[in-house]
Amino acid sequence: MKNLCLLTYLKKEIQKPSNKEQVIDFYNEATEDYSFWSKDLNMHFGYFVPFKTCVFRRAGMLNEMNRAVFERLQIKNKKKHIVDLGCGMGGSIRYGIAKYPKVAITGLTITPFQVEKGNELLKSSRGTILNRDYTNTCFPENSFEGAMAIESLCHSGCSTEALQETYRILKPGSTFVIADAFTKKDVNEMNPLAKYTYRSLCESWSLESLANIHRVKADLEKLGFKNIKVQNIWYRVAPSVLHVPFTISGFILKKLFKKEPLKTESMKNLKGSFAALLSSLSLKSFGYYIITATK
């Protein structure tokens, strides 16, 4: 009996999709949710600035996050080729090429649906989306003058491999900007609420893990990045996080009212949104950071 149970367990583990497959499936099915979140398909949280953005206007905060990232890339009015690691539907790419007339941006995603539909939305020769893994891009060394990753490296746990590959494809003197959620301590050191929040975030949004901010900073240093700046901006992000459960709930109610089938991914999004709110109750364990580093 024990052997039979073991064989059943092993069979389930073998058949269980990899994290990469789960990410592809999630975004293939959940993009409709994100179009409800942002007409520009900005698949990330916002950045609140008092007297500049309004807490009730999500679109303004989402684009302000784009602005904050591009500002740190120090593009100014120069010709630069930027890589967007995990670009989603290309919302940030469209913002960048509209804001900076001399910049070219190549986006990477492992989701075929995002490649096809994202490229349809890009109406400029300066922007393109490729079906590539940011841990193994196949680009030559020193290919880009900048790299950005907005809430995408979390799908790999902000792995050392992803950071190393980014370092490899950047030209010397180029800037790397990450905007994402991180943990402040190891999971085994968290209280029960924080542990539950961590598990819910990872399971709901197909995250391999939420990386420890101290480990990521140490990795960047070991890889050779210089001028590393780590800024916790959770208070800037919090107003847009408050929009999530209401937006997702509204989306689900709309589907139910129309008697349309509700996808599993929509329910996962709803669960993840409440987990994101719970993270604000565990600020000793979680933070949302913008990291800048120079090769």
Domain with 269, as residue range(s), is 18-294
Could you give the CA distance from residue 180 to residue 287 in angstroms, rounded to a whole number? 9
Give burial (CB, 10 Å; 0-12/13-18/19+) of 154.
Answer: buried
Could you give the CA distance from residue 178 to residue 94 in angstroms, rounded to a whole number? 18
Check whether 249 has a pLDDT greater than 60.
yes
Give me the pLDDT at residue 148, please: 98
Q: What is the mean pLDDT of residues 43-48?
A: 94
Least confident of 3-7, 89-93, 131-135, 231-235: 3-7
Could you give the CA distance from residue 57 to residue 240 in angstroms, rounded to a whole number? 9
Opening angle at CA 101, ends 97 and 103, nearest 5: 60
Opening angle at CA 63, ends 62 and 64, nearest 5: 90
Give me the pLDDT at residue 78, please: 86
Instruction: Express as a percent the part of the chain with pLDDT over 90.
Output: 67
Check whether 37 has a pLDDT greater than 70.
yes
DSSP classification of residue 156 = G
Residue 11, in any domain of the structure:
no
Residue 7, in any domain of the structure:
no
Q: Give the CATH number for residue 142.
A: 3.40.50.150
Q: What is the mean pLDDT of residues 273-293?
A: 91
Contacts of 284 (CB under 8 A, 6+ apart): 184, 185, 194
Q: 186-191 long-range CB contacts below 8 Å, 24 or more apart? A: 186/212, 190/282, 190/285, 191/282, 191/285
Residue 12, in any domain of the structure:
no
What domain count does the chain have?
1
Give me the pLDDT at residue 290, please: 98
Pairing of strands 170-183, 103-109: unpaired
Residue 181, in any domain of the structure:
yes
Q: What is the pLDDT of residues 57-79, one digit of tens each?
A: 999 999 999 999 999 999 988 89
Residue 144: helix, strand or coil by DSSP?
Answer: strand
Least confident of 89-93, 113-117, 126-130: 113-117
Q: What is the mean pLDDT of residues 173-185?
A: 97
Check whether 105 has a pLDDT greater than 80.
yes
Query: Across the chain, what does the average pLDDT equal?
Result: 88
Residue 104, in any domain of the structure:
yes
Residue 48, in any domain of the structure:
yes
Check whether 7 has a pLDDT greater than 70.
no
Pairing of strands 80-85, 103-109: parallel
Give me the pLDDT at residue 220, please: 98
Residue 9, in any domain of the structure:
no
Could you give the CA distance from residue 61 to residue 219 in angstroms, rounded to a whole number? 30
CA-based nearest residue to 290, from 27, 105, 91, 73: 73
CA-based nearest residue to 183, from 195, 172, 167: 195
Exposure b/e, 36-63, CB count within 10 A at least 16 = b: bbbebbbbbbbbbeeeebeeeebebbbb
Q: What is the mean pLDDT of residues 168-180?
A: 98
**Higher per-residue pLDDT: 81 or 76:** 81
Could you give the CA distance from residue 154 to residue 173 in angstroms, rounded to a whole number? 25
